[in-house]
């Protein structure tokens, strides 16, 4: 999913984190008087660096079954835990002290990396919603039975292999991408997204894997050329930026850290970006793909705008993919040990 070979990147991100902590979430200062700024050519202005940094799990945990929202008490309790964990992280502590006892406890993947690799620098934000998935109502992703098996297999392989060739690591470990579906809310390291607008285009630069989307907003139709990131076409509905993405290439044959992000020819994404304040955005994505899901599902994701001086740094993953050669060397050593 992510690279542990990117030492320089991590040092950079640690520096970013420190700078972020200096200017805490400005969203509390958002008032009702806020009006959506416009670009010089009159489009709603979404520019800046955005990231998801809330403590909301993608799917609803069993303990909240039947409930879409936390109580005020639960929110307060969570807030306290997040603040404590952040203090522990900044103190250099690891493990259960920072809420990372095991993989399953985390709402996001990336738990296997210690705090050094994480972008945190301020406590994760607590929201009332019990899951990012808001449709279906149970807050769970409606995988097909086959996809459920594929996801279980992906989870079992993650970090464990086997690694017999370069096709065995997942697409992230191969420095290809973790897919466009989770781009706006994934990436404990490199989860920053810079939005740059120019007349007729909205460009999103995602730090991890150098993922990039140049989205035309000029009324054109999607091209028929299939791509990893499909063909995105944008339009404005009032102050909401709406993006429809189709014509994905089929890469369901590859290993994915999470199969919910894998592209197939039947994948269709509908995204809605709506700024709700100077530093907050309501991001919604509806994912349709009969190859993986029994019905469409929608996630509602609160994302935060980072201070103006936040930068996207160069994520030279493939150029520094020592992990690949090391994984394969490990695979050979393992095969030799087993006498195969």
Partner 1 sequence: MRAGIWGVVVVAAIVAAAAMWIHRPRAADESADGATYRAPRTADGKPDLNGIWQALNTANFDLQAHPARPALSLLPAPPRGGVPGLVRATPVALPDPAVRAFGAVGGVPAGEGVVVGDEIPYQPWALAKKQENGKDWLKRDPEIKCFMPGVPRATYLPYPFQILQGTDKIVLAYEFAGATRTIHMDKVGDSPSPTWMGWSRGHWDGDTLVVEVTDFNEDTWFDRAGDFHSDQLKVTERYTPQSPYHLTYEATIEDPKVFTRPWTIRMPLYRRVEPDKQLLEYKCVEFVEELMYGHLGVIDPATGQRNK
Site for partner 1, rule CB under 8 A: 8, 11-12, 15, 39-42, 45, 47, 163-168, 174-177, 194, 196-201, 203, 205, 210-212, 214, 216, 220, 223, 225, 227-229, 309, 311-314, 316, 318-319, 324-325, 328-329, 331-332, 335, 340
CB of 134 to partner 1, least distance (A): 31
Sequence-ordered list of residues with C-beta below 8 angstroms from that of 246, at least 6 positions apart, any chain: 222, 230, 231, 267, 268
Contacts of 19 (CB under 8 A, 6+ apart): 121, 307, 309, 310
Between 79 and 227, whose beta carbon lies closer to partner 1? 227
The residue (of 209 and 297) whose beta carbon lies closer to partner 1 is: 209
Closer residue to partner 1, CB minimum distance, 111 or 177? 177
Q: How many Cα atoms within 13 Å fall on the side-chain side of residue 278?
A: 12
User: Judged by CB, which is closer to partner 1: 12, or 70?
Assistant: 12
Shortest CB 46 distance to partner 1, Å: 11
> Angle 52-55-61 (CA atoms, 0-180°, nearest 5)?
125
Rg, C-alpha atoms of the chain: 20
Name the minimum Å distance from CB 228 to partner 1.
Answer: 6
How far, in Å, CA of 184 to CA of 304, rounded? 11
Q: Which residues contact 213 (CB under 8 A, 6 or more apart)?
A: 180, 183, 203, 204, 206, 229, 232
Half-sphere exposure in the Cβ direction for 198 (13 Å, CA): 5
In the chain, at which residue ranges do the beta strands (DSSP E only) sit? 48-51, 133-135, 193-198, 201-206, 212-216, 231-237, 240-246, 268-277, 280-288, 297-305
Going by C-alpha positions, the residue among 185, 160, 182 that lies closest to residue 173 is 160
DSSP code for 88: H
Closest approach of partner 1 to the CB of residue 213, in Å? 10
Smaller CB distance to partner 1: residue 171 or 274?
A: 171
- Taking the least distance from each CB to partner 1, the nearer of 185 and 229 is 229
Does residue 197 contact residue 47 with C-beta atoms inside 8 Å? yes
Q: How far is the CB of 282 from partner 1 (least distance, A)?
A: 22
* In the complex, minimum distance from the CB of residue 314 to partner 1, in angstroms, rounded to a whole number: 5
Cβ closest to partner 1, residue 137 vs residue 309: 309
Report angle CA 227, 228, 234 to the nearest 5 degrees. 70
Shortest approach of partner 1 to residue 101 CB, angstroms?
A: 32
Centroid of chain to Cα 310:
18
- Shortest Å distance, C-beta 135 to partner 1: 30
Nearer to partner 1, 26 or 210 (CB): 210
166: which strand partners? none
């Amino acid at each position: 999913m992510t690279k542990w070979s990117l030492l320089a990147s991590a040092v950079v991100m640690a520096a970013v984190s420190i700078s972020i902590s200096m200017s805490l979430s400005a969203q509390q200062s958002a008032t009702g008087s806020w009006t959506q700024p416009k670009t010089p050519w009159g489009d709603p202005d979404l520019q800046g660096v955005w990231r998801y940094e809330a403590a909301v799990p993608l799917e609803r945990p069993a303990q909240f079954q039947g409930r879409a929202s936390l109580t005020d008490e639960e929110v307060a309790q969570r807030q306290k835990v997040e603040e404590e964990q952040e203090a522990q992280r900044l103190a250099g502590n690891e493990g259960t002290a920072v809420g990372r006892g095991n993989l399953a406890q985390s709402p996001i993947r990336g738990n296997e990396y210690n705090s050094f690799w994480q972008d945190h620098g301020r406590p994760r934000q607590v929201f009332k919603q019990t899951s990012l998935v808001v449709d279906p109502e149970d807050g769970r992703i409606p995988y097909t039975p086959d996809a459920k098996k594929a996801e279980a297999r992906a989870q079992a392989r993650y970090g464990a292999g086997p690694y017999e060739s370069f096709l065995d690591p997942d697409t992230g470990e191969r420095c290809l991408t973790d897919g466009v579906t989770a781009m706006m809310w994934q990436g404990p390291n490199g989860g920053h997204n810079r939005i740059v607008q120019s007349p007729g285009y909205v460009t999103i630069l995602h730090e991890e894997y150098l993922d990039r989307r140049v989205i035309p907003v000029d009324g054109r139709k999607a091209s028929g050329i299939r791509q990893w990131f499909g063909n995105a076409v944008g339009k404005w509905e009032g102050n909401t930026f709406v993006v429809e993405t189709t014509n994905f290439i089929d890469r369901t044959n590859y290993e994915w850290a999470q199969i919910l992000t894998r592209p197939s020819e039947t994948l269709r994404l509908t995204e809605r970006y709506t700024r709700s304040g100077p530093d907050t955005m309501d991001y919604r994505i509806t994912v349709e793909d009969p190859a993986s899901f029994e019905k469409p599902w929608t996630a509602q994701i609160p994302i935060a705008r980072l201070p103006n001086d936040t930068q996207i740094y160069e994520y030279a993953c493939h150029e520094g993919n020592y992990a690949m050669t090391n994984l394969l060397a490990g695979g050979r050593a393992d095969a030799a040990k087993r006498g195969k």
